[in-house]
Chains A and B, each alone.
Chain A
Amino acid sequence: MSGIPPYATMPQRVWYYTFRVICGLIFAFLITPVLIVIPLSFNAQDFFTFTPEMLRFDPAGYSLKHYEDFFTSDDWQSALWNSLKIAPMATILSVGFGTLAAIGLSQPHVPFRRAIMAILISPMIVPLIISAAGMYFFYSRIGLQGTYLGVVLAHAALGIPFVIITVTATLVGFDRSLTRAAANMGADPVTTFFKVQMPLILPGVISGGLFAFITSFDEVVVVIFVGSAKQQTLPWQMYIGLREQISPTILAVATILVAISICLLTTVELLRRRSERLRGMSPG
């Protein structure tokens, strides 16, 4: 339904435009909260709304002081570093285990496939507070609570469903005769995997990795319970900031995080299109 046919009646025309307006409003609802933090983060005052100077586009109404605050505050900087230490490790673990398992799951004959899949996806479904409570009780008993390793393991478990979903989706279109051809020409399974299979499923693996990364990078419930003050991550610091003294520095952090998500989204979209092209589907 693109465009309106010339024979459309008046009520049809009215409905066509009303519908477009409704959809436009819903899109605005979706995107406004994400975008509104960007201009507000350049506020020269400690307010959370547009000051009259900002509305007049007076340069005096804008400043970078909240960003300065973020880059000079010890709390925020250590939170940033903690996030950057935890997320990549968790991502490596999820992608390593997850890719292997996804390849196993897409073999033609897998016993208990459905049950295994249900278990592997469950970290995404079980409410975070329950995962957090269970991990808190259990990890404190075995001495992992409040350690870097504990947080990394917990985050890796949370990221795995995303890797499994994206990689198995890529493997659906994978042509099995390619591995047979490689084996036929004398390649051992390891060579076949790295030279034939891996390059083809790489886009899926990378998207899964990015999903796992953002899961860990954004995660706050589990880290609050499993971590200690030494593992305070960026979202945790934001959560504290929002609960206690809400300071406009949060908006600066939020803007930086929005910029990161834009980069990740672009990468994932490009990878998805590349993978569709490789598999001979329409590039869209």
Chain B
Amino acid sequence: MSDVADTGPMLAADGTPLKKSLGRALRRQKMRALMLIAPLLLFILLAFILPVGDMLYWSVKNGIVSETLPRTVVALKDWDANSGELPDEPVYAAMAADLHEASLAKTHTKVGVRLNYENPGISSLFRKSGRAAKKWEPAADGPWKDQLIELHKGWGDTAVWRTIQTYSPPLTSGYYLNAADMRVGPDGPEMRPENERIYMLLFGRTLKLSLMITLSCVLLGYPVAWLLANLPTRKANMLMILVLLPFWTSLLVRTSAWKVMLQQQGVINDVLVWIGLVADDARLVMINNQFGTVIAMTHILLPFMILPMYSVMQTIPPTYLRAAKSLGATNWTAFWRVYFPQSVPGIGAGSILVFILAIGYYITPALVGGTKGTFISNRIAFHISSSLNWGLAAALGAILLVVVLLLYWAYDKIVGIDNVKLG
């Protein structure tokens, strides 16, 4: 006995200390788990995370001004925008040289479009000047200051030069300011005029409508989840099909169904006229407005509310309610003081999920929302495919992404991602 105690650390069969041997086995197990996960993780990183990160880079990237107008950017560095005076001749000469080069490479319109986002009117200034600049001899035809101002009075406007100076660094916060309805004025960032503020309005509307949708999902989902959790299993499974079938049905099928039902010549209006609730010439307008968006999206997202509520309610023992009642509680007290508090986690899980999904919706608002019922996503899509202002689209997307990720984090803390259930 005493021999064993003296030989030091306990040894494994092959003579290595047991602790080391166990550590090695654990490490091998971890490595094996990681090896199994690695292909997918790599795939998601390349096909998904990297593109989203790339979009974030678009929201601050601004190389176009310094790439197209390199000399002007250098010459303009020392000009004081607040002096109220126009820049000196060297700046105009640099601009003439840059414009000449840019017009040959046909890049002058691009920089014009970029600066036009910040100061409307610059696009035509660059287009017109670029057309003339092709024939210039920048080194010989000077001095340029008066010639340029004569060509287009925009070159005599300090605001234009200020815009060029402000947007010459390779990175910019301009898109974010723009997304927050702000712009760079003489004294730093300032709010845009009232009539140009649209993004805060859109963010506000997106949040408001998403909250309304979440709330109506809670109100409609709670009774159904309660019924499903308290019926005998066989009946509950039958009724569950009514919840799961919409869940499995294509989003576009449901949206087109609502479009068909809500139209002025649609089924709901026909029924209302037939019952006599609504006169034939006063059919309700239920589509292409906020009402249409809220009702269609409530229907689409309701299963995402019912399923988590149902799985929480299933775990609440019905004996608690009976115990409360036998102790003298009324039905309402028993429900409100005993049952409801236990079902709150289900409400929380469902609400966050529905809210996260609602806030980023695109298809349904685009189809049934008209102009008053569209979300911020619709504006992002517009900037990507129609106005081609990708930087602004990326900045709006980044703000939306931050909101969603905060909610995702909260969801993970409250519910745990492992506990997401599907069907």
Contacts and interface: CB of A to CB of B under 8 A. Distances in A.
A241 to B, nearest CB: 8
Q: Is the interface of A mostly helix, strand, loop or mixed?
A: helix
Interface stretch (B98-106, B143-151, B245-253): B245-253
A153 B41 CA distance: 14
A71 interface: no
A226 to B, nearest CB: 9
A27 B239 contact: yes
B203 interface: no
A110 B32 CA distance: 9
Contacts of B252: 218, 220, 235, 238-239, 242, 254, 257
A250 B400 CA distance: 32
B40 interface: yes
A48 B253 contact: no
A104 B52 contact: no
Interface in B227-270: 227, 230-235, 237, 239, 241-246, 248-261, 263, 265-267, 270
B30 A110 contact: yes
Contacts of A132: 381
B371 interface: no
B417 interface: yes
B397 A157 contact: no
Give the interface centre of B29, B30, B241, B246 by most chain A CB atoms within 10 Å. B246
A117 B418 contact: yes
Nearest to B420: A165
Interface stretch (B123-131, B185-193, B358-366): B358-366
A225 B384 contact: yes
A246 interface: yes
A119 B267 contact: no
A36 B267 contact: yes
B36 A104 contact: yes
Interface string A98-138: 10110111011111001011111111011111111111111
Contacts of A119: 41, 44-45, 49
A26 B252 CA distance: 21
A194 B403 CA distance: 43
B224 interface: yes
A200 interface: no
A17 interface: no
A212 B250 CA distance: 13
A49 B267 contact: yes
A100 B39 contact: yes
A257 B360 contact: no
B39 A109 contact: no
Contacts of B88: none
A178 interface: no
Nearest to A166: B422
Given A33-B299, A119-B45, A282-B233, 15 more contacts: A20-B227, A26-B223, A33-B258, A34-B245, A93-B43, A109-B33, A120-B40, A125-B404, A127-B361, A134-B397, A135-B51, A154-B47, A221-B363, A239-B252, A269-B244
15 contacts: A2-B235, A32-B261, A37-B260, A47-B265, A100-B37, A107-B33, A110-B34, A119-B41, A122-B44, A130-B397, A135-B48, A137-B55, A218-B250, A254-B256, A254-B257
**Which 4 residue pairs spanning A and B have beta carbons closest together?**
A127-B360, A104-B36, A134-B51, A138-B51
